[in-house]
Amino acid sequence: MGRVVILGVFVADTAYRAARQPRMGETILGNSFVLGPGGKGSNQAVAAAMAGADTHFISRLGQDPFGDMALATWKKAGVHPAVTRHADSYTGAAYIFIEDGTGNNAIIISPGAAADICNADIDANAALIRSARVFVTQLEQPIPVAFHALQLARGAGVTTILNPAPAAALPDGMLALCDYVTPNETEAEALTGLPVTSVEDAIAAAKALCAKGAGAAIITLGAKGALFHDGTRTVHVPPFNAGKVVETTGAGDAFNGGFAAALSDGMDPAAAVRFGSATAGISVTRAGTAPSMPARAEIEALLRR
C-alpha cells in the first residue's frame, strides 16, 4: 500500500461512563473509568496503519507517561512517529463522557504540547509529506499549521484529506487545498450554514462544500452512513452493521483512517468510502478509540459479508 502521512494530536483519553452527565455543581457516581490513547490525528493514524497503510504521524508530545503511552500505542499499531518531545509542556489529555444507555459521548480536549505545533514542524517533515500518497490533517492543532501542511502536500501532488474537526471557521482558500473534506453533520453545518439531518440535507451541504473549492465532500452521518459527492456523482453508503454498538467515540477517526488507507491502495473514492464505513462499523462495537480500530482482514471480511 502507499504511504499515508497524518498531522495531528495525541491525547490520553480519560473516559467516564455514567447514566447521564452531571449538572453544573453536581457530583454523580459513574459506572466505569478507562484510561487509553486518543486524539483525532493519532486515532486516524492507528486506523490507517491497522488497515494496512504505511502510516507516519507528525505531532508533539510532552516528556511524561502519557507521551510514553503514545509511543507504545503507535508501535503496537505499526505507526511511524515523526514527533518531538518537550519537557516544558505536557502530552494532551481528553475528558470523555459516555452515556451508558446510548454510547453517545461528549468530549473536552486539552492538547498540551501539540497546541504549539508550528510551521517549522511541517518544514522539518517536508520530505516525508512530499513522499506520501495521501496526506491527512484535522483542526486540533493550530489551523494555520494545517493550512501550511496542506499547501505543501498539494504542491507536491499528494492527495489531501481535511477532517474539519472539531468544527471551526476555515480561512479563505483552505478548502481549495483539499481533494477530500470529511465533516460530520455538525461540522458540515458549521462550514456551510445548512442544517444536516437527512441524506438529502447532506447532498445539499456536500454540493456547497464543493462550490467552496473542495474536490469532493464526504459527510459522515452516523447511523445513516456516509454521503460522497465530487461534483459529478453522488453516492450514499449505508452504515455497516458489525454488531451491537458499544461506543461511538472514535468512529469518525476510524472512518478517516480507513478511507485514507483505501485511497493509498489505489481504490476508487466511492469504494474507499465503503472501506472507511466498514472500518467505522467495526470500531463502534468495541470500547475505546485507538484500541477499537480493526485490522485489515476484519474490514475485508465485513465488506465481503
pLDDT of the residue at 195: 95
Q: Cα separation of 294 and 282, whole Å? A: 7
Q: How many CA atoms lie within 13 A of 73 on its CB side?
A: 29
Q: Is the pLDDT of residue 249 over 80?
A: no
pLDDT of the residue at 15: 87
The residues assigned a catalytic role are 253
DSSP characters for 232-285? S-EEEEPPP--S-----TTHHHHHHHHHHHHHHTT--HHHHHHHHHHHHHHHTT
Q: What is the pLDDT of residues 161-201, one digit of tens each?
A: 999 999 999 999 999 999 999 999 999 999 999 999 999 99
Preceding amide of 37 cis, omega within 30: no
Q: Is the pLDDT of residue 24 over 90?
A: yes
Residue labelled with grid coordinates 486518543? 38
Q: What's the average model confidence in pLDDT over 100-107?
A: 86
pTM: 0.91
Extract the runs of DSSP E, i.e. beta strands, from 113-155: 134-137
DSSP 3-state assignment of 292?
Answer: helix
Q: Cα separation of 216 and 69, whole Å? A: 35
Tell me: domain 3-9+38-91+113-304, CATH 3.30.40.230, correct? Answer: no
Q: What DSSP designation does 64 have?
A: S
- Give Cα separations from 211 to 59, 165, 208, 215, 229 (angstroms): 31, 20, 5, 9, 11
